[in-house]
């Protein structure tokens, strides 16, 4: 076609396709921070081919309407070419760009109105969740409270009782975990027995599956319940809106977003509780058409909630009130409420038999663990903490707050029940010092409300395609799918920084930009996080509020591609503002992300980024190392996401003549590893070599003992093998690495 015949719409369409493909390639290539600026990695051939194929498929799919769906992403590649020093753009490099490219895919799917049957929807989600459960079993195993529910089930199966002291003494938990664990109990039984502090309901629920196939079968059964919950959410929205396509879209979005997808296959009470809440609310929405048998079944399901956890007891009167408010017949009301009354009496009798008191709350002791002084930390932490916050991982649920207002206009009874359930969770959890839930994926205590959030979200999504909703959905899907693929990144370690955002960032780590309400081990880091957290929460809260307000407009005036570009730019501005307000440090992680990949934009040419450099401005302590100030070691590289291999560490430092060189301590997240071994000393610094094993999640390097030093720069080099280095032996970095490979005795070797 001659250039004169190409109209503006066609030009925008093809430019959008090129922009989306470029952003996808930049995302898959990764990024790192270097003294010269930002290094953009080149994606591996298979990943690059997949991105190009997806771009072509999307372009063909949207060609009929000439949708310029990717044009709004054009600021990203342009900024990386001309504005690389802007910190906001540095945050949107590497893997976080998958969230932006995913938001455009969400917009395209939104326009296409894809519809599938309820059965196909359930089978697809079940297949995904079974894979997620298998990966969780292999990568993480039972953590936190999970082993204790399994131990109770094991005791019921093999001993026929609830005492767990024998199970722990004989270490029967070795059947499903290799760690040593201690029993969870605070108050002993009548005769001094040890009973688990956790309620018996979940252990009873998984008992048949555990009897058949042990921990794996119990995990797959929990994945089945989570998939059933996703299907119930879809059916609930379909019945509420009478729009199957909308129900499928919202149900799929919620199923693949945190927190639900991260709990698929995990032995926690939250998914079964959410399933009961969702099924009860769907069944009781119109009480005139419900049979007496089903009413009794719903009443029994509601009555089972306190047996899962005592904190769910507050759900019981709210759900009963919801059911009773629809119809005031005495017979039907009694059928619904009677199981809960009987269940409440049995809960009291159960605790009296085991402990000698009727109140189930007393098994947690008499310590003042609930205090309104915790609300200032717990309430914002539930939503904005980078390790456990709901909106940090699933910002799409910020739209549910606006959707709740719309829900009140359409169905007051349903909206009031949803609001009361949400308020009960916040009132119960926010004053508790364990608002984060312990060792678990993010937003554990919000999982029972996921159906309510999905229902409110459908009110916003049902108003038509919105760029802000698509952007938030893209981020939610990115964190959800990323956490499902690598479960260890979303199983919290409670150190103040989120593993997912440590491993999945680009040239500027997102742990520096997101608030932290959990105290890390390092006191100085805790002070920084304490000072930053409220203002960072305000920045991201304002960004979510702006996106929510723009989504409420019934008829947006600007074209979609312009609104997409505006949303991207506002996101960059929020990231830039956070980087200016944050005093956090990445401890060198930003520099090592491309340590084994080709990169571009470094000194204007392509090179192999097998060398990472960073200074003490990236560390929590200053340039001066004094051993007596750091008895446990001064970290010079914290939680470095290094691929398996052998490395050479070079430290450029100055110290007094005749002083003893410090040693390098190598810390990992797996059991004991040999320390790093110093191989040479030079006039300008020291050299150490170490090896990263295949099962390492992160590696920390720390200076320890020795004499004082003023550290100038830290360099980390990948020692590549002869066959690989010979391909491009003309590059000086390759020659040096190859010669060091010959000189340096590595860990585990017999000698030089």
**Residues 264, 266, 267, CA angle at the centre, nearest 5°?**
135
Residue 599 binned pLDDT confidence (cut-offs 50, 70, 90): low
Considering the domain 595-719 in this protein, what is its CATH number?
Answer: 2.60.120.260
Residue 15 binned pLDDT confidence (cut-offs 50, 70, 90): confident
Of 154-168, 252-266, 507-521, 533-547, give the lowest mean pLDDT range. Answer: 507-521
Residue 682 binned pLDDT confidence (cut-offs 50, 70, 90): low
Q: What is the pLDDT of residue 96?
A: 94
Q: Is the predicted pLDDT of residue 384 greater than 60, yes or no?
A: yes
Q: Is the predicted pLDDT of residue 465 greater than 90, yes or no?
A: no
Residue 740 binned pLDDT confidence (cut-offs 50, 70, 90): very low
Q: What is the pLDDT of residue 99?
A: 94
Q: What is the pLDDT of residue 387?
A: 92
Residue 70 binned pLDDT confidence (cut-offs 50, 70, 90): confident
Q: Two tokens at 262?
A: 């991260």
Share of the chain above pLDDT 90, in %: 42
Average pLDDT over residues 204-224: 96
Enumerate the domain spans of the chain: 1-115, 118-267+366-461, 595-719
Q: Is the predicted pLDDT of residue 65 greater than 70, yes or no?
A: no
SS3 151: helix
Q: Two tokens at 410?
A: 């359409």
Of 109-123, 206-220, 623-637, give the lowest mean pLDDT range. Answer: 109-123
Q: What is the pLDDT of residue 146?
A: 93
H or E stretch including 73? none
User: Which residue would you say has higher pLDDT here, 656 or 624?
Assistant: 624
Q: Is the predicted pLDDT of residue 623 greater than 80, yes or no?
A: yes
Average pLDDT over residues 613-632: 88
Residue 116 binned pLDDT confidence (cut-offs 50, 70, 90): confident
Average pLDDT over residues 156-162: 89
Q: Two tokens at 8?
A: 């503006």
Q: Is the predicted pLDDT of residue 752 greater than 70, yes or no?
A: no
How do residues 298-335 score in pLDDT, each as one tens digit? 999 999 999 999 999 999 999 999 998 876 677 778 88
Answer whether 0.75 is exceeded by the pTM: yes
Q: Is the predicted pLDDT of residue 605 greater than 70, yes or no?
A: no
Q: Counting Cβ atoms within 10 Å, is residue 641 exposed (0-12), middle (13-18) or buried (19+)?
A: middle
Q: Is the predicted pLDDT of residue 73 greater than 80, yes or no?
A: yes
Average pLDDT over residues 12-39: 85
Residue 746 binned pLDDT confidence (cut-offs 50, 70, 90): very low
Q: Is the predicted pLDDT of residue 426 greater than 90, yes or no?
A: yes
Residues paired with 32 in a beta bridge: 39
Residues 203, 217 contacting (CB under 8 angstroms): no
User: Which residue would you say has higher pLDDT here, 286 or 433?
Assistant: 433
Residue with tokens 């203002």: 535
Q: Which long-range contacts (CB under 8 A, 24 or more apart) does 681-688 make?
A: 684/652, 685/650, 685/651, 685/652, 685/653, 686/650, 686/651, 686/653, 686/661, 686/662, 687/648, 687/649, 687/650, 687/651, 687/744, 688/648, 688/649, 688/651, 688/664
Q: State how far the Cα of 636 lies from the Cα of 703, in Å rounded to an integer.
A: 7
Closest CA to 508 of 91, 96, 99: 91
Q: State how far the Cα of 224 lies from the Cα of 255, in Å rounded to an integer.
A: 13
Average pLDDT over residues 450-466: 92
Backbone angles phi, psi at 712, to 5 degrees: -105, -45
User: Which residue would you say has higher pLDDT here, 166 or 542?
Assistant: 542
DSSP 662: P
């Amino acid at each position: 076609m001659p250039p004169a015949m190409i109209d503006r719409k066609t030009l925008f369409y093809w430019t959008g396709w090129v922009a989306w493909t470029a952003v996808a390639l930049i995302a898959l290539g990764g990024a790192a921070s270097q003294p010269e600026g930002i290094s953009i990695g080149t994606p591996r051939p298979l990943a690059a081919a997949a991105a190009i194929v997806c771009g072509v498929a999307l372009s063909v799919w949207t060609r009929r309407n000439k949708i310029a769906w990717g044009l709004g992403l054009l600021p990203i590649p342009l900024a990386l070419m001309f504005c690389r020093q802007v910190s906001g753009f540095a945050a949107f490099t590497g893997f976080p760009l998958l969230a932006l490219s995913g938001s455009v895919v969400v917009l395209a799917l939104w326009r296409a109105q894809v519809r599938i049957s309820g059965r196909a929807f359930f089978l697809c989600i079940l297949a995904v969740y079974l894979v997620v459960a298998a990966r969780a079993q292999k990568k993480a195993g039972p953590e936190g409270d999970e082993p204790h529910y399994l131990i109770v089930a094991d005791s019921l199966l093999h001993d026929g009782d609830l005492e767990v002291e024998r199970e722990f003494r004989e270490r029967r938990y070795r059947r499903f975990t290799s760690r040593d664990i201690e029993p969870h109990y605070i108050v002993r039984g009548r005769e001094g027995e040890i009973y688990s502090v956790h309620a018996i309901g979940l252990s009873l629920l998984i008992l048949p599956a555990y009897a058949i196939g042990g921990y794996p079968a119990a995990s797959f059964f929990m994945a089945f319940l989570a998939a059933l919950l996703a299907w119930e959410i879809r059916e609930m929205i379909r019945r509420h809106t009478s729009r199957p396509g909308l129900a499928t879209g919202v149900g799929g979005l919620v199923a693949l977003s945190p927190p639900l997808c991260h709990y698929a296959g995990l032995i926690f009470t939250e998914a079964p509780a959410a399933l009961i809440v969702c099924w009860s609310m769907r069944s009781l929405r119109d009480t005139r058409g419900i049979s007496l048998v089903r009413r009794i079944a719903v009443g029994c399901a509601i009555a089972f909630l306190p047996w899962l956890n005592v904190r769910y007891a507050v759900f019981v009167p709210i759900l009963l009130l919801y059911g009773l408010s629809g119809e005031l017949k005495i017979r039907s009301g009694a059928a619904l409420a009677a199981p809960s009354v009987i269940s409440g009496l049995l809960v009291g009798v159960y605790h009296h038999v085991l402990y000698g008191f009727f109140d189930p709350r007393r098994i947690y002791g008499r310590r003042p663990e609930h205090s309104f002084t915790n609300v200032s930390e717990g309430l914002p932490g539930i939503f904005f903490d980078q390790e456990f916050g709901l909106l940090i991982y699933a910002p799409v649920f910020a739209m549910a707050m606006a959707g709740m207002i719309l829900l009140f206009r359409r169905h007051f009874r349903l909206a009031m029940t949803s609001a009361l359930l949400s308020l009960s969770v916040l009132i119960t959890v926010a004053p508790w010092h364990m608002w984060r839930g312990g060792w678990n994926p993010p937003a554990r205590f919000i999982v029972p409300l996921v159906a309510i959030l999905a229902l409110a979200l459908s009110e916003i999504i049902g108003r038509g395609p919105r760029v802000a909703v698509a952007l938030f959905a893209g981020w939610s899907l990115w964190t959800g799918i990323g956490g499902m693929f690598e479960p260890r990144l979303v199983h919290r370690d409670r150190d103040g920084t989120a593993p997912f955002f440590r491993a999945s960032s680009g040239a500027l780590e997102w742990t520096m930009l997101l608030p932290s309400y959990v105290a890390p081990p390092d006191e100085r880091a805790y002070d920084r996080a304490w000072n930053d957290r409220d203002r960072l929460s305000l920045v991201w809260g304002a960004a979510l509020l702006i996106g929510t307000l723009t989504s409420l407009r019934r008829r947006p005036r600007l074209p979609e591609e312009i609104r997409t570009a505006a949303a991207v730019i506002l996101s960059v501005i929020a990231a830039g503002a956070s980087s200016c307000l944050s005093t956090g440090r990445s401890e060198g992680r930003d520099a090592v992300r491309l340590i084994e990949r080709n990169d571009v934009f470094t000194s204007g040419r392509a090179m192999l980024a097998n060398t990472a450099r960073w200074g003490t401005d990236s560390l929590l302590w200053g340039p001066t190392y004094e051993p007596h100030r750091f008895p446990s070691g001064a970290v010079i590289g914290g939680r470095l996401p290094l691929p398996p291999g052998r490395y050479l560490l070079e430290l450029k430092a100055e110290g007094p003549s005749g002083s003893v060189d410090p040693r390098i301590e190598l810390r990992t997240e797996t059991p004991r590893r040999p320390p790093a071994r110093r191989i040479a000393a030079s006039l300008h610094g020291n050299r150490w070599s170490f090896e990263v094993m295949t099962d390492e999640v992160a590696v920390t390097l720390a200076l320890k003992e020795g004499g004082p030093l003023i550290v100038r720069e830290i360099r980390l080099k990948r020692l590549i093998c002869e066959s690989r280095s010979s391909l491009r032996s003309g590059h000086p970095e390759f020659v040096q690495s190859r010669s060091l490979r010959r000189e340096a005795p590595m860990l585990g070797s017999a000698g030089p």
